[in-house]
Structures are given as structure tokens and as C-alpha cells.
Structure 1
């Protein structure tokens, strides 16, 4: 990690351990519709970006119901549970270590911006970041454009940057930005899905970074 001058963190599933509250939130909706519930294993196999595709994979029919209302229903469930989630302990160690090493740190998230700001403030981690970047809606779509804006605003060079994420979309973002990438298999997608990207750096957890 010493060669990197900047770290871009994904938030959900990479810094924030919100997997269980995400599963609880979607299972409430599935139960209401008499659809099969998800386990931790099945969730990690079907979760994807854009999240509308994930909803369709688990049985939602947007010919019969409104995607916008469905997304708001999930956010309502998720927001109630968000205070019960926390940062991965090893993430706190790395945030502090990278700060001491003088690295710039950023969050690049598909979480809605106001919710992201509130969450980082509640968890008292905002002081680690040069910028926190979320999206302007609740639909968890692509982060690529916001990533490009971070590069331009902070004059980042791709060879100096490493992105940490937990999904195939994080690897797509890293490839679009031309930067290095580590995918962590303790988040929202299975290690098999992460390996299928061809990413050369796939680790079980952030503990593997600490011990490098």
C-alpha cells in the first residue's frame, strides 16, 4: 500500500458492515409479496448493480408495480436499521493507518448523498476523508461519473490511486478510472462473483491489507 498516495473507499459493504440490515430490509418486502426470502449466501449471489436488476432477479415484477415506490419502500426499511450497523473494525484500523501515512482518502458511494453524510457523521469517521461522494437519488446506479469528477477535482493520477470495493461494479469503476483495485469478499457479493471479474487483487477481508 505504500506506493499509493490516495485511497478511494466504497462505503456499503466495504467500510460499512450493512449486509445483514440490507438482507432484513429486502426480506420484509419479499415476505409481503409472498416471494422466497434470501439467505446471506443467496443474497451475495444475486445482488448486483444497477440494483433494479437485483430486484428483478429476486422476483419483483415492475410491469405490475412501480419501481420508484419499491425503491422508497426499501430505503424506509433500510434507514430504520442503519443505526444498528457499524464500520468494520479492520476498516477503522486502516483509516487511521492511511491518515498517519499521509494518504488522501475518499468515499465513492452509491448511497444517497445526505444519507451518506449523516451516516459518516454518526459513525464519527468524516475526519478521515478529503471528500465524501454519494449520488443525488436513492436508486444506487453507477458511480463512474462521480469517480471521474473526484479525479478531476483533486488532480488524482490513476497510478497513485487504489480503490477498495466489494462488488463487480467497483471493479468496473476502477477500470474506467484506470486505477488499481482491491475487491473484498466480506461484503455484498460472493468471492466467486468477484473472481469472475478478472480483478487480480481479491481478498477475504480488509485484515489481509493490514497484514501486507
Structure 2
């Protein structure tokens, strides 16, 4: 991890501890389709992008016309209701202060919609930590973060070789590879440690530990 000058942070499941809100919203979708509720361990074992086939596996069948849109709307509504009860992840915002104290920079990139994300970061008092905050500004065929990360780095004017993405799912690792950056994955979010380790990227338990790995401490 030598030569890293900039961290791109993921939000959900990385800086924000929202597993319970995610699971509650997922089980709202389960109820819509007559599927028994799932526990967090099961959800972390199957969650992936693209989301549509992931949810089709969850409910045990393909979506008919309009059903994915209804499921997505229900998820968003239920998640939004639970969001105020979500706290920042362990060690946040301290880890953001500590990284800034090294004289290096950081930004935030999330697959949550940009219009939803920006005020949320401001409400949490975190905006000043980041040189750029981007949510999902466009759709992609494969529903991956990769093209969003490439656009994010272009907006920063950053050399991908000097960047590490810290996120909580395998798609964060895939996005970093495609963009020419590096990745550290945290096992406190939406994927099990075993699935994250299978990517070949370093895995940490918390954002603070991820930065210690990055700094070789």
C-alpha cells in the first residue's frame, strides 16, 4: 500500500453502520412476496450486485413486469424510516480526522442516489472531511460501482495508482481493480469476511483497522 495519497470511502456498511436498517428493509420486501424473513447472516451470504438477480434469489423466483420497481420503492421507504436510528461505524469520525492529519486527502463515493446522499453527509457533520462527495449519478448495465469510481477519480483529477477504495462488498474491490486503484474491504458491512477474503484484497474489521492496514501500522 505504498504511494497512497487518497482514500475513497464507501458509505453504507463502511462509514455508516446501517446493517439493521438494510435487513429490516430486505424483510419488508420478503413479506411482499410471501417469503419468510431472513437473518443478517443469510443476507450477507447472498447479497451482491447486480441487485435484481440477488433479490430474485432471495424471493425464489424472477420478477414479473413492475415487481422490481415496487420492491425497490418499498425497500427505499422502509430503509429511510430506519435511517435516523443508524449510527456511524466504530471509530468514525475519528478515523477521518486521523487520516486528514497525515496531510493526505479523502472523498466519498456511494451507490446511494446523489440527491439522497449529499444532505445526509451534511446532516452527520462530515462534509468538511471530503474533497468530493458523489452518490449514484447515472445507471449502468451491470449495476457496478466501477464506472462511478472512474468518473469520481476523473472529477478529483486523481491518479488511480495513488488511491485506495475502502468499502464493504466485493464490488468495491472489482471497481478498484477496473479503475486502476487499490482496495481494502471491511467485514462489518453487507458481506461476510469469507466472501471478502475470496477477492484477494486485504480485509479489516473496521474502517479504523483498514487505515492501520493502509499505513502498515
Is the TM-score greater than 0.5?
yes
Equivalent position of 2:162 in the other structure? 160
* Structure 2 counterparts to residues 8-157 of structure 1, below 5 A: 8-59=8-59, 61-63=62-64, 66-136=67-137, 141-157=143-159
Deviation at 1:14, TM superposition (A): 0.6
C-alpha distance after superposition, 1:49-96 (max 9, x if no partner): 122122111115312652112111110111111111121131311111
Q: What's the CA shift for 1:137?
A: 6.6
TM-score by length of 1: 0.91
Contact residue 72 and residue 138 of structure 1 kept, 8 A: no
Q: Which 10-residue stretch deviates more, 94-103 or 57-66?
A: 57-66
Query: How many residue pairs align between the two structures?
Result: 211
| Uncovered stretches (5+) of structure 2, i.e. residues with no partner | none
Q: CA deviation at 1:22?
A: 0.4
Which position in structure 2 is the counterpart of 1:7?
Answer: 7
On the 8 A contact 2:7/2:166 being kept in 1, the answer is yes
CA distance in structure 2 between the aligned counterparts of 1:135 and 1:189, rounded to whole angstroms: 20
Show the counterpart of 1:187: 189
Q: Is the 8 A contact 1:9 1:106 kept in 2?
A: yes
- Cα shift readout 1:140-174 (whole Å, capped 9, x = no counterpart): 93222221122222221122111101101000111
**2:91 aligns to what SS in structure 1?**
helix
Looking at structure 2, the residues matched to 26 and 149 of structure 1 have their Cα atoms a distance apart, in angstroms, of 29
Q: Which runs of 5+ in 1 are unaligned?
A: none
Q: 1:18 to 1:137 in 2, by over 3 A?
A: farther
Q: Compute the TM-score of the two structures, normalised by the length of structure 2.
A: 0.89
Alignment RMSD (CA, Å): 2.1
CA contact (8 A) 1:108 1:134 kept: yes
The answer as to whether partners of 2:168 and 2:185 remain within 8 angstroms in 1 is yes
